[in-house]
Structure 1
Amino acid sequence: MFTPVIPFSGLAGWRFLQRTYDTQFEALNTSAQQQRATDYFTENIAKVTSAEDLVSDRRLLEVALGAFGLQDDINNRFFIQKILEEGTVGDDTLANRFADPRYAELSRAFGFGAKELTQVRISTFAPDIIAKYQANSFEIAAGAQDETMRVALYAERELSQVAALDASNDTKWFTVMGQPPLRALFEKALNLPKAFGQIDIDQQLTVFKERAREVFGSDDLSTFSDPAQVQDVITQYIARAQIDSLGTGASSTSIALMLLQS
């Protein structure tokens, strides 16, 4: 399996990964293991007629879940089948009851639920799912080298989409809070403590917005539809993670020097 090259930690590593992303992304997705997975999905997904068919084929399910960052649920077949079969029409469906919106996105994408149209035979379906799977696979591979890089790559891909949602600002914040990578991004960028997630969810929303106003000048998540703003929060996140990794023994001078060199 291809391993991304990330020769530096912190901001220097992030800048290197950005410069070499296209080349490294292609190298991963032309590897034999990756091609076998995507070729199998392309050749067989249109044969699937139900959620049960999908969860019964581990190779198809691996790509399907991987496309939405839900690969850790690969062995939870009954749960995923129920997510898919109930669909997303109605607030009481299982997918819609989760704070993490990726379950609803998975269910909606396949369309196996009641009152929904199955999507797997649409010509653009397999390429779209595979593109998501490839992006997530690269993020996982990068995260095996440095978890901050996985979070940063995910944010670069997804944050602007959350920002552009046709929804209230609070709904967007709840979406961020429900997606583990985006939550990790903002918790670190806003310098929130590890125990922060244990307080009441509405209190968390208030704190997120207050800290965003202090750090970014606004709590309006729609500002992150601008790629430059996305890079700002990623930089803030990686810089704080880099400082934390130095430990309490590092002087302010050495921290400043490292960040300048990055």
Structure 2
Amino acid sequence: MSYRPVLTSSGSAGWAFLNRTLSRQQAAFNSSAEIRRESEYFRDRIDTIRTPEALVGNRRLLSVALGAFGLREDIDNRFFIRKVLEEGSLDPGAIANKLSDKRYLALTRAFGFGDFDTPRTALSDFADEILALYERREFETAVGEADNDMRIALALQRDLPELARQQSSEATKWYTIIASPVMSRAFQAALSLPDSVASLDVDQQYRIYSEKAERVYGSPDPAQFADPARLEAFTRDFLQRAQLRSSATMSAGASALQLLQTAARGGLSLRL
């Protein structure tokens, strides 16, 4: 049986507990039978893989490779993954460089099939590198099965500082956030923006995000979240406001249900 992460509650209190126990829970998760079995299989065979075709032809290896970058949902899209890996990252016209979702770029850079004569799968520490990513992502997925907002909070600790430290413009960072389902959801909640903001033109979204971030955090630049203290404050804001949204939604649903039940008991019609 797989290890199930322990969450005591949602929101900031649950986040504090998860942070205190994270290293122990991650270790227990990594030791579970399923994760250990797939990790050992990957470690034993990945150094024999020299082409994208060979990787996509082995479903178990491909599952770990995609899982390491949060792309497990693409497991059956093998032709596309093969093209991404073949084209690599060095050519500005490569598929991975054109996609707004930068997980594919990280994937092809990690394996190096299209960038080097000898792919990075031949490196002695390559398996360790990919498995560390895989185990962390799989743990986040397991957490998300119990509390998706907690999964997002965990992902933020990895993705947001990495983005903040990049040598790119403020606008480029915001466009990356907007294109990321995880980070855009977190910023919408933390900045108290409605879900409908996602339907606006990306340039409008960029202006809204940056202006609201300046009002709330004192700076419009996502680079500020490279600071651990600011990242922690942002994570708490996200969890607290996401919890309030969830409570409001549940209360509205409960009120509607109660109204319907009352009407049914009284033989009333709610039709206009």
User: Per-residue deviation at 1:33?
Assistant: 0.5
- The residue identity in structure 2 corresponding to 1:164 is R
- Could you tell me which residue of structure 2 aligns to residue 82 of structure 1? 83
Matches within 5 A, 1:81-100: 81-100=82-101
Match of 2:177 in 1: 176
Query: For residue 8 of structure 2, what is the aligned residue in structure 1?
Result: 7
Q: Distance in 2 between matches of 1:248 and 1:134?
A: 33
Q: Is the 8 A contact 1:89 1:115 kept in 2?
A: no
Matches of 1:92 and 1:145 in 2, distance apart?
40
Is the CA contact 1:102–1:179 (under 8 Å) kept in the aligned structure 2?
no
Match of 1:222 in 2: 223
Cα distance, 1:194 vs. partner?
1.1
Unaligned runs of 5+ in 1: 251-262
Matched, 1:22 2:34: no
Q: What are the within-5 Å matches in structure 2 for residues 232-251 of structure 1?
A: 232-247=233-248
Deviations 1:163-187 (A, max 9, x none): 1111112112222222221121111
Across the aligned residues of Structure 1 and Structure 2, the Cα RMSD in angstroms comes to 1.4
* Cα separation, 2, equivalents of 1:14 and 1:118: 39
Q: Is the 8 A contact 2:10 2:147 kept in 1?
A: yes
8 Å CA contact retained: 2:55, 2:61:
yes
Q: Per-residue deviation at 1:107?
A: 0.8
Equivalent residue of 2:121, what SS?
Answer: coil
CA shift at 1:91, angstroms?
2.5
- Quick check: 1:157 aligned with 2:158? yes
CA separation of 1:117 and 1:206: change in aligned 2, threshold 3 A: farther
Contact 1:83 1:107 in 2 (8 A): yes
In structure 1, distance between residues paired with 2:169 and 2:176:
11
The one-letter code of the counterpart of 1:167 is: S
Count of residues in Structure 1 that have an aligned counterpart in Structure 2: 250
Instruction: Assess if the C-alpha contact under 8 Å between 1:212 and 1:219 holds in 2.
Output: yes
TM-score of the two chains, using structure 1 as the length reference: 0.92
**What CA distance in whole angstroms lies between the structure 2 residues aligned with 1:203 and 1:177?**
11
Q: Please tell me whether the aligned partners of residues 50 and 118 of structure 2 are also in contact (alpha carbons under 8 angstroms).
A: no
The SS at the match of 1:100 is coil
Residue of structure 2 in register with 1:138 after alignment: 139
Question: Identity across aligned pairs (percent)?
Answer: 43
Structure 2, unaligned runs of 5 or more: 252-272
Matched letter for residue 14 of structure 1: W
C-alpha contact (below 8 Å) 2:84/2:104 kept by paired residues:
yes
- Measure, in 2, the Cα distance between the counterparts of 1:41 and 1:160: 28
Cα shift readout 1:191-218 (whole Å, capped 9, x = no counterpart)? 1111211111111111110110011111
**Which letter does structure 2 place at the counterpart of 1:240?**
R
Task: Measure how far apart 1:158 and its partner are.
Answer: 1.9
Cα 1:212–1:56 change in 2 (3 A) is same
What residue in structure 2 maps to residue 254 of structure 1?
none
**Normalization by structure 2: what TM-score?**
0.88
For 1:138 and 1:218, locate their aligned partners in 2 and report how far apart those are by CA, in whole Å. Answer: 33
1:247 is paired with a residue of what secondary structure? helix
Does structure 1 residue 202 correspond to structure 2 residue 199?
no
CA distance in 2, matches of 1:168, 1:114: 26
